[in-house]
Amino acid sequence: MNSTDRNRRRWTYVVIYLVMSVAAVGATFHVTLRSELARLSRTGRVVLEQSSDRLIAQLESYREMTDLMARHPQVSALIEGRSSRAVTSEFLLRTALTTGAKELHTLDAQGRVLASSTLEEAPHIIGTDWSNRADVIAARTRRMGIYHSADDLGQRSYYFARSVLNDTGNPQGYVVVKVNMDELEAEWRIDETVVTFFDTSGVSFVSNRLGLALRHDSKLQQTPSASFGYPETLQSFPHHQLSRAGGHDIWNFESGSEMPERALIASQDVPLINMTARAFIDTNPAFSEARLLAALAAAVLSLFGMGFAFFAQSRDRLADQLRVEAEANTQLEARVAKRNAQLQQAQDNLIQASKLTALGQMSAGISHELNQPLSAIQNYTANAEKLIERGREPEARENLTLIAEQTQRMDRIIHNLRGFARKETEPLETVNVADVLAASLGLAEQRAKSENVDIVLHSVPHAWVDAGQIRLQQVIVNLLSNAMDALSDCESKKITVTLSQHRKQVQLVISDTGPGLKDIERAFEPFYTTKDIGASKGLGLGLSISYGIVGSFGGLLSVENLDQGGAAFTITLPAIATHQEASQ
């Protein structure tokens, strides 16, 4: 590649990298901003819950006092004409001074004021008609009535109203409790987050910023402000523009106001006071964090780009050096090829050695496994000779048939051992383990009688599995033979064979009363044996081969030493429900 093509390709890469970098920086900014705004939104919801709970808790005592006053005998006595206005007004005044309520009033059934805690200061209040006010209308239906208002001086009041019931359960008058919201608000601490409670007319009635109280926002108005007792002229809420960022509403205020320039809005309805709480959370920290991470991403990408450019230049210089050193590299490649050929030869030698090892294992296994069929053939041959001498040809013919069967069995054993050594997969069939066990015990019966070994059998009649019948029989006979070998020097010679089926598993346990295994962890290792090689019948391959055969059936061969002495070998295989189901 010439220098012109190289420069053209390099500038193409630069442009692509710049576009991808700008996209990555922008994505970092937006993802970070969305995450930070979500965190601020969660914080705002917590602040709103705390502020709402605080306001409701402050008003709750006056709500409960309203219920109590509606049931007080003095109030009922005035409404029923059993007490005077002066006495009741004095009682209401003392109650207001004691509880901290601003005013208490008693109304008749038509909603006109009968007595008031402000009788001395404002006697003209007597007879005032409050029947059309929202709190009195709600109290007329036996509900807790609520109402709020503000006078011309900007003092805000909150009202609770409850009906006074007669003996028949009908309203005969009303009790109204007036609360000074300015005094309640004075108890609030100044929070970092601006919180304001708007009513349905779009007026901020309560706020943790005094300057935001009684400010009107026409965009939030749902009902006419005349529904509440507000002055005719209300200041407007600070001007703002609505925008969206990170999936959240953002109010953009003019600089210099009491509000953050960019405020995330969190809202929560407060039905108990019929208002909506809104938190105005400053988003400058979120934008600053997003810009900072975007700047860091840009710096990292810039450093990476510079490093990549340096790498590209270095690679070009290295390419020039490689062209100059082409002849030296050719010689080096020749040496590498020679060394590879030597390594390949060593690998072939290792493969040949592995083949010889496998051949040795197969030969040892054949000599071990064919010992029993050969012994049986010798016995059948001797019996046949004696029967022929005595002229009992039919019985001798039966022995010859048995010899032929043992010859076929030897052929199958050799085939199975060759397949095992080569790790071939033999086809499986549906086998009744009880039948295989009976055949295996028949092969071991003659030796057991000659060595005075008592074999005790506990077996279920049917235990169906997927296995190879000959290979499974080979494993069982091998385990029985090993058990009889272990009992050769024992006084008590007993082998217990138990075939059972538990849930979805078939278990065959062969235990003996011998000395057990000294090194049980190595029981299934190839060439491990407790017998004297050459003087005995074993080569240490029987258990290893048996372990592999059972594993090829999807089962497990395990061993344990018994507490009372001896060893127990357990064959565990997956069970098939019934022979008929397996055939289907």
Q: Which CATH number fits the domain that encloses residue 506?
A: 3.30.565.10
Q: How confident is the model at residue 227, as a pLDDT? A: 63
Asked if the model's pLDDT at residue 554 lies above 70, the reply is: yes
Helix/strand/coil (H/E/C) assignment for every residue in 466-530: EECHHHHHHHHHHHHHHHHHHCCCCCCCEEEEEEEEECCEEEEEEEECCCCCCCHHHCCCCCCCC
Q: d(Cα 208, Cα 195) in Å, to the nearest integer?
A: 6
**How far, CA to CA in Å, does 240 sit from each of 7, 46, 250?**
53, 24, 10
Closest by Cα among 158, 149, 151 to 181: 158
In a domain, 41, yes or no: no
548 and 433, same structural domain? yes
pLDDT in tens, 14-48: 788 788 888 888 888 888 888 888 888 888 889 88
Q: How confident is the model at residue 536, as a pLDDT? A: 43
Closest by Cα among 116, 113, 107, 114 to 140: 107
Q: How confident is the model at residue 76, as a pLDDT? A: 92
579 and 430, same structural domain? yes
Q: Which CATH number fits the domain that encloses residue 135?
A: 3.30.450.20
506 and 394, same structural domain? no
492 and 386, same structural domain? no
Asked if the model's pLDDT at residue 57 lies above 60, the reply is: yes
538 and 398, same structural domain? no
Domain carrying residue 443: 426-583
Q: Is 541 in contact with 365 (CB distance < 8 Å)?
A: yes
In a domain, 213, yes or no: no
546 and 436, same structural domain? yes
Residue 85 has a CB neighbour count (10 Å cut-off) of: 16
- Report residue 254 as tokens: 């003019």
What sign for the dihedral angle of Cα 221, 223, 224, 230?
Answer: negative
Q: d(Cα 346, Cα 519) in Å, to the nearest integer?
A: 37
Question: Per-residue pLDDT averaged across 397-421, rounded?
Answer: 70
In a domain, 236, yes or no: no
Highest mean pLDDT among 92-101, 177-186, 224-233: 92-101
Residue type for 542, please? G
Radius of gyration of the chain measured on its C-alpha atoms: 51
485 and 561, same structural domain? yes
Comparison of pLDDT for 152 and 415, the residue scoring more: 152
Q: How confident is the model at residue 294, as a pLDDT? A: 82
Give the residues across from 253 on adjacent strands. Answer: 240
Task: Write the DSSP string, 116-142.
Answer: ETTTTT-GGGTT-B-TTSHHHHHHHTT
- The predicted model scores a pTM of 0.49
Q: How confident is the model at residue 186, as a pLDDT? A: 72
Asked if the model's pLDDT at residue 312 lies above 80, the reply is: no
Question: Per-residue pLDDT averaged across 324-348, rounded?
Answer: 73
Asked if the model's pLDDT at residue 202 lies above 90, the reply is: no
In a domain, 554, yes or no: yes
Q: How confident is the model at residue 189, as a pLDDT? A: 64
Q: How confident is the model at residue 323, as a pLDDT? A: 72
546 and 404, same structural domain? no
Backbone phi, psi, residue 515, to 5°:
-80, -10
Asked if the model's pLDDT at residue 286 lies above 70, the reply is: yes
382 and 482, same structural domain? no
In a domain, 433, yes or no: yes
Q: Is 291 in contact with 29 (CB distance < 8 Å)?
A: yes
Q: How confident is the model at residue 446, as a pLDDT? A: 72
Asked if the model's pLDDT at residue 415 lies above 70, the reply is: no
The H or E element containing residue 440 is helix 433-450
Q: Is 173 in contact with 193 (CB distance < 8 Å)?
A: no
Q: Of the candidates 407, 424, 441, which is a domain's last residue?
A: 424
Q: How confident is the model at residue 349, as a pLDDT? A: 53
In a domain, 112, yes or no: yes
Asked if the model's pLDDT at residue 425 lies above 70, the reply is: no
509 and 431, same structural domain? yes
Band (318; pLDDT cuts 50, 70, 90) = confident
In a domain, 326, yes or no: no
Question: Per-residue pLDDT averaged across 102-107, rounded?
Answer: 94
Residue type for 578, please? T
Q: Of the candidates 403, 424, 445, which is a domain's last residue?
A: 424
Question: Per-residue pLDDT averaged across 488-512, rounded?
Answer: 91
Q: Is 25 in contact with 274 (CB distance < 8 Å)?
A: no
**Average pLDDT score over the chain:** 82
Band (179; pLDDT cuts 50, 70, 90) = very high
485 and 416, same structural domain? no
**Order of strands across the sheet that contains 235-236:** 235-236, 215-216, 203-207, 194-198, 275-282, 262-270, 248-253, 240-245
Task: Write the DSSP string, 199-236.
Answer: -TTSEEEEESSGGGTTEE-GGG--S-GGGSB--S--EE
Report how many domains make up the chain: 3
Q: Of the candidates 184, 209, 232, which is a domain's last residue?
A: 184
pLDDT in tens, 228-272: 777 777 788 888 888 888 778 888 888 777 788 888 888 899 988
In a domain, 34, yes or no: no
pLDDT in tens, 475-499: 888 899 888 888 888 888 899 999 9
460 and 475, same structural domain? yes
pLDDT in tens, 513-533: 988 888 888 888 766 666 654
